[in-house]
Chain A
Amino acid sequence: MNARAFLVRGLLAGLLAGLAAFLVANVVGEPHVEAAIALEDSGAVAPGGSHSHGEESAGHSHTHSSGEDEVFEVSRDNQRTWGLLTGSVAVGVALGGLVALVAAGTLGRIGRLLPSQSTALVALIGFVAAALVPFLKYPANPPAVGDADTIGERTALYFGFLLLSVGAAVLASYVACRLRERIGTYGGVVAGIAAYLLVVIVAALVFAPVSELGDFPADTLWSFRLASMLTLATMWGVLGVLLTGLVSRLYARETAVAQRRELAASL
């Protein structure tokens, strides 16, 4: 087992995870994106910022009040299909490679966990730390929600919180592994989870809230956010399951080869 073998499997699992996420986003999420854009275009909701939009068929685009006047138009048809596919697959492949390399690093280093087990654990912690917890603090917003003038601040808050959550998860996992050697698996795992929760809960209280919903309808917001969470869960779920399966097969193959070699040497 080597870094390259893990990376290749991660990229493959990520590609398929991106495709699966696209399907869920397109089928489950897009109706609510369309509903939000329709609300935005009809002026039924009052977004905080200054947006300019093309005609219904021309596409959904934003000009920021401080930004350029040149707006690159992409039709809604392209945004909800090829554009969404591009974004989902790019993120899927990137996440797949990153998760696989982290899994490669933890290989044989988390207690007595088998390669497939440590890989599954890395994917699970990745989902919680990089998707679920950031979502709970700064949930996804549909078009028409959000003030264009605060995009810089909101981006900094979101990624600041994301990095903090991932960093805390890495540290807490390390602490859990070290404590395990002294106080056992149960104590180590409980202490690690408690340490992670303490950090992210304090951070969630310290980080500034974002509330720019205005009078956006709650049912559309809820449906959109549910679809967004389903998309993220699909991405990470498919990635984790496929990568775990691929690593499991790789390990089984290498173990079989090693056993045959051992048997041949003993004859």
Chain B
Amino acid sequence: MSHSAAAPVTGAPALPTIPFRELAPWALLFGLLGTLAIFFVSADQGAVSIPAGTAIHEWVHDARHLLGYPCH
């Protein structure tokens, strides 16, 4: 492998990219997990209740107020 042939015309090193195909499973899995975590802190047992009750709402209550989410 010749190093001179791999260098781009400008001389700057090529920027790395991550193929979307490689990224997709990570984005899907963590997109769901992350959204779920934010849902439990921000909205659960207020407008929507999964599971029913008030335990989660009461426990994260102050975070919900101070992070700017509608609470009650």
Q: Contact at B30–A154, with CB atoms within 8 Å?
A: no
Q: Contact at B52–A98, with CB atoms within 8 Å?
A: no
Q: Contact at B22–A3, with CB atoms within 8 Å?
A: yes
Considering the complex, which residues of chain A in the window 57-108 have a beta carbon less than 8 Å from any beta carbon of chain B? Answer: 59-64, 67-68, 70-74, 78-80, 82-84, 86-88, 90-91, 93-95, 97-98, 101, 104-105, 107-108
Q: Contact at A138–B70, with CB atoms within 8 Å?
A: yes
Q: Contact at B60–A140, with CB atoms within 8 Å?
A: no
Q: Contact at A51–B62, with CB atoms within 8 Å?
A: no
Q: Contact at B65–A140, with CB atoms within 8 Å?
A: yes
Residues of chain A contacted by B60 (CB below 8 angstroms): 83-84, 86-87, 90
Q: Which of B13, B16, B54 contacts A70 (CB 8 A)?
A: B54
User: Which residue of chain A is the closest to B62 with respect to CB atoms?
Assistant: A84
Q: Contact at B16–A228, with CB atoms within 8 Å?
A: no
User: Which residue of chain A is the closest to B22 with respect to CB atoms?
Assistant: A3
CB distance from A157 to the nearest CB of B (A): 8
Q: Contact at A3–B40, with CB atoms within 8 Å?
A: no
Bound Cα distance A105, B58 (Å): 36
Q: Contact at B16–A29, with CB atoms within 8 Å?
A: no
CB distance from B64 to the nearest CB of A (A): 7
CB distance from B51 to the nearest CB of A (A): 11
- CB of B11 within 8 A of chain A? no
* A95-B59 contact in complex given A68-B54, A158-B70, A228-B68, C-beta closer than 8 Å: no
- CB of A19 within 8 A of chain B? no
- CB of A227 within 8 A of chain B? yes
* A94-B65 contact in complex given A101-B27, A105-B23, C-beta closer than 8 Å: no
Considering the complex, which residues of chain A in the window 29-52 have a beta carbon less than 8 Å from any beta carbon of chain B? Answer: 29-30, 33, 49, 51
- CB of A211 within 8 A of chain B? no
- CB of A129 within 8 A of chain B? no
Q: Contact at A1–B68, with CB atoms within 8 Å?
A: no
* A112-B12 contact in complex given A1-B18, A49-B72, C-beta closer than 8 Å: yes
Q: Contact at A79–B62, with CB atoms within 8 Å?
A: yes
Bound Cα distance A80, B61 (Å): 9
Q: Which of B1, B38, B68, B69 contacts A265 (CB 8 A)?
A: B1
> Which residues of B line the A interface, CB within 8 A?
1, 3, 12-13, 15-18, 20, 22-23, 26-27, 30-31, 33-35, 37-38, 40-43, 46-48, 52-55, 57-72
Q: List 20 A-B contacts (CB under 8 A).
A: A2-B18, A3-B26, A29-B66, A61-B54, A64-B72, A79-B62, A83-B61, A87-B67, A88-B63, A93-B37, A98-B30, A98-B34, A105-B18, A107-B17, A108-B15, A155-B43, A155-B47, A228-B65, A254-B16, A265-B1
